[in-house]
Structure formats: C-alpha cells, structure tokens
Chains A and B, each alone.
Chain A
Amino acid sequence: MNGERRVLVACGTAIATATVVAEKVKEIAKEAGIPVKVVQCKAAEVRGRIATFDPHVIVATTPVPKDLGIPVFNGVPFLSGVGMDALKAQIIEALKKA
C-alpha cells in the first residue's frame, strides 16, 4: 500500500448524512494509519465524481448504482450504530487492498 486513499461519500443531498459518515471514515482511517482524502457528493453525482476523483472506495447512505467497478459500502451503520464495527473493518480492509 502506498499513497493517499480516496474515498467518495454519497448521500441524498451531499450535506447531512454524508458529512457524518465522512467524519467517521476520516477517524477510522486515522486510527488505522491510512492517509485518506474524503470527498462528498450527491448520489446522482456518483458517476461523474468517479471520473474526476477516481475513488478507491465509495461509502453511501443512499442507493447508488451497483455496476461501478469500485467497492461500495452502505454507510448507514455509522448512523444507526448497528453493525458499525464490522463496517469499519470492511472499509479498512478495502482501503488497504486498494
């Protein structure tokens, strides 16, 4: 693994839930010692952002297309607290593999 990992966080409006999830992703990446750059967008903008930002991982709180060719994680456990530890582990693993 080398260099910064890029994470795209998508939600309905790119404001509320995406911000909460983006903060969590930064936090867990820091704990794992992985440098990350996190960008937020609306679900409808995901394809466009893939072209410009080229993320290694996508975390979404709203449905996004499944055929993106990039690992996509449902970020809702960061909001509900249920399944959060498993999600953290999966994201970290995906970031390490990227």
Chain B
Amino acid sequence: MNPFLRAMMPAILLTTTIGLYACDNSTQTAEKGKSPKSAIVSTNAAEFITVSKPRIRATAPGQTVSGAFMTLVNNSETAYALTSVSYHGASVVEIHETSMNEGMMRMRKVSQIDIPANGSAELKPGSYHIMLIGLEKEMKAGTAETLTLTFSDDSQKTVEALVGTLSE
C-alpha cells in the first residue's frame, strides 16, 4: 500500500461510515413516513387510546365511595399513561391500586397507570381502579355517568361508564 493511501485510509473509512449512516438514517425516515398511524389524523393519546367496558360499581345507600373500571387500549407506537380522571359528582377522584400480598389486601394511591405502546392497561377489581371519593349521590345500577380521562400528554377523553353491581 502506498503511503498516500495509507494516510488517506482513516478519511476514507470515516466518509464510508458517514455515508452508510446517512443511508441508514434516510431509510428509517422513509419507514416512519410510511407508517399509516402517524399519517392519519390521530395525534394525541386521547385519539390513540380506545376505552372498553367503562363501568362504575353501584353503591350501597350511604356509601360515598366507589370504584370505576375499564380497559384502556393504546393503538400507537408511543407509550402513554392515564394521569387523572374527573367526575362532576365526586369531590375527589384518585387512581388507586389494590394488591394482595400474603393474604393481605392493600390499597394505595398511584400517580398514573401506564398504557404501553401497542399495549393495554386493565382497570379491574383487585387491581387498578379509579376511586370516586365523596359521591354526591348513590350510584344506581342501570344508570350511566360521564368520566373525563386525562392522559400523560394532557389530552382528554370522556367516557360513559355504566353503573352496575359488577357481579358475575
């Protein structure tokens, strides 16, 4: 190998690497552009996330707390989270998690429920639930209440939750 080529080798390698990298990058961009989801209207969590089976547990007379449950499905490549819920008929709404450890049922307040990209989060008895605290009226089976969900990107979605006894 002549001295010139030897001297130029690092430069050649560098240029090739940059070139390859650039090519690689452009393919990625092209693929991203092809992705149908980003091309269509959905731009935020509220549009990407679908809610199924929203429901509220009917309350006993005088009972001023209840739980709301639902399944949140994230149809996007981005992970989101449910960060808060509001309901006009409750003084406070919180997100709680029930867990069982050595036969002990424990409930704790959590700041959010993660909804993974192309995944889902299930709010169900014995797990995550929305805690409606300080209910102004009884939750009667057969009625429906509007809940407003707020996601991690501050987008919001309202759902009609059916009130039921949540038995078998």
Q: Do A and B bind each other?
A: no
Which residue numbers of A lie inside 8 Å of B, CB to CB?
none
